[in-house]
Structures are given as C-alpha cells and as structure tokens.
Structure 1
Amino acid sequence: MKTTLILGATPNPSRYAYLAAERLASRGHEIVPVGVKHGRVQGREILHGKPDVPEIDTVTLYVGPQHQPEYYDWLLRVAPRRIIFNPGTENPELGRLARENGIEVVHGCTLVMLAGGSY
C-alpha cells in the first residue's frame, strides 16, 4: 500500500488524527505521523518540524488553516499525489498552491473515506 503522511498526528486516542492513524494502519497503509505532540501512534514515533520523509502518496491534514502556512513549502517539496482536507482544515490558499503544483485536492473525511472504501 502507498504511504500516508498524517499532519497533525497525536498520541491522544480521542482525537480524529489518532483514529485515522489507527484505521489506516489496520488496513495495511504505511503511515508517517508528523505533529507537534510527543509520543507514538501505531508504534511509530511522531516526527516534528518538517522532516525528511519517504515517498508520500497522500497527506491527510489534521492541522487548522491558521497553522498550515508554515508547512506550505515543505508540503510542496514532499509532493504527494493528493492532500485530503479533513473537516475544519479547509484552506483555499493551500488548495490553490497544491493544484498549481499538480497535487490533487480532496475535501473529505479520511475516516469516512476509509469506512466507505473510497480511500
């Protein structure tokens, strides 16, 4: 399976980013958790800042639009095939930048996409 970067990863099991990591991993997806929280999710250390990452197919966002600008350049360098804007993370500016760089923009919920088989 292709690799998904979870931006806004957290070790808190009550958060949607945690649930997404859990469900992605349970379905065989490789995950790369990146966030500001310290800890582990699905056995993987949460990376901080703008780390070097392997080839990424999908970025799923769990970071609000007010905190996204610091990641713009890094996300464009990571060059995923698509970025999923989960509810509450919608950002027209990042969406435009992504499309201009050939990255598919999806407005949806990773958890719903996984449950419905459209991930």
Structure 2
Amino acid sequence: MNKKTLVLGASLKPNRYSHYAIQRLVANKIETVAVGLRTGEVDGVSIATEQLPFENIDTVTLYLNPMRQREYYDYIVSLNPKRVIFNPGTENPEFYQILQENNIAFEPACTLVLLSTNQY
C-alpha cells in the first residue's frame, strides 16, 4: 500500500529531520512530494516552494513550528489527506481542531520512528 506523503517544511540540509524523513520514505518505497523554503532535490524528490495542488495525498508530515503552520492550514485541508503527522516540536492544538472539523485524522508522532518500527 503506497501512502503518498507530503513532507511540509522540507530541507536540503542533510542534518535536518525533514531531509532524513524524505530519504527514509524513499527507501521504504513510499511516493513522496515535498514543500520547503528552497527548491532542490533530496534522493530524487523535488522540493517545491509553492503550495502545489498535489493529488491523492495520504499523509502530510509536518516539520514546521506551529506559528509557521498557520499559512498552510487551508492548503493542507484542501489536499484532503487521510492524516497529518505532527513531528516533535510541531504539536498544535489550534490546528488539531481545524483538522477535526474537516474529518482529517492527526497524530503527534515521529515519522522516522513510525517508519523504523513498521507502523507508518
């Protein structure tokens, strides 16, 4: 089952968790798209800087602090993902409420841990 994933807050810097998450998603053969501050590529995944209308997104995994997430609320809801993962440091009760109102599941979890324990 391919859980097409949007990495939001993607970074070209190899020491960032979002960078490593892209690598691990690709290694697990999960279709991956990414949006970040700078264009570039990580393991064959192009990082866009615009809020592109990706289709069939199963999971959005967040690597943005709660204040930076606000500009993406409508965008994420418009993608109608099955779930949103709030990685450590991205927890956001305000956004949880918006997701609940739109029947989108969410979980405060770590994408890297979920992948390494086969719970993704």
Give 2:55's aligned residue. 54
For residues 101 and 13 of structure 1, the distance between their equivalents in structure 2, rounded to whole angstroms, comes to 34
| 2:92 is aligned with 1:91 | yes
**1:11, distance to aligned residue in structure 2 (A):** 1.2
Structure 2, gaps ≥5 residues long: none
- In structure 2, C-alpha distance between the alignment counterparts of 1:78 and 1:6, rounded to whole Å: 13
Q: Which residue of 1 aligns with 2:15?
A: 14
Deviation readout 1:47-100 (Å, 9 max, x if unpaired): 112112121000000011010110011111001000000000001111110111
Structure 1 runs of 4+ aligned residues shifted over 4 Å read: none
Are 1:45 and 2:75 an aligned pair?
A: no
In structure 1, the residue corresponding to 2:48 is in which secondary structure? coil
Corresponding residue for residue 106 of structure 2: 105
1:41 offset after TM fit, Å? 1.3
Partner SS state of residue 14, structure 1 = coil
CA distance in 1, matches of 2:32, 2:99: 21
Q: TM-score, normalised by structure 1?
A: 0.96
Q: Distance in 1 between matches of 2:3 and 2:77?
A: 18
SS in 1 for 2:21: helix
Shift of residue 40, structure 1, vs aligned partner: 0.8
Matched, 1:33 2:34: yes
Aligned to 1:75: 76
Aligned residue pairs, count:
119
Which one-letter code corresponds to 1:46 in the other structure?
I
CA shift for structure 1 position 44: 2.1
Cα distance between partner residues in 2 of 1:2 and 1:88: 23
Task: Determine if contact 1:33/1:41 at 8 Å carries over to the other structure.
Answer: no
Q: Distance in 2 between matches of 1:48 and 1:94?
A: 22
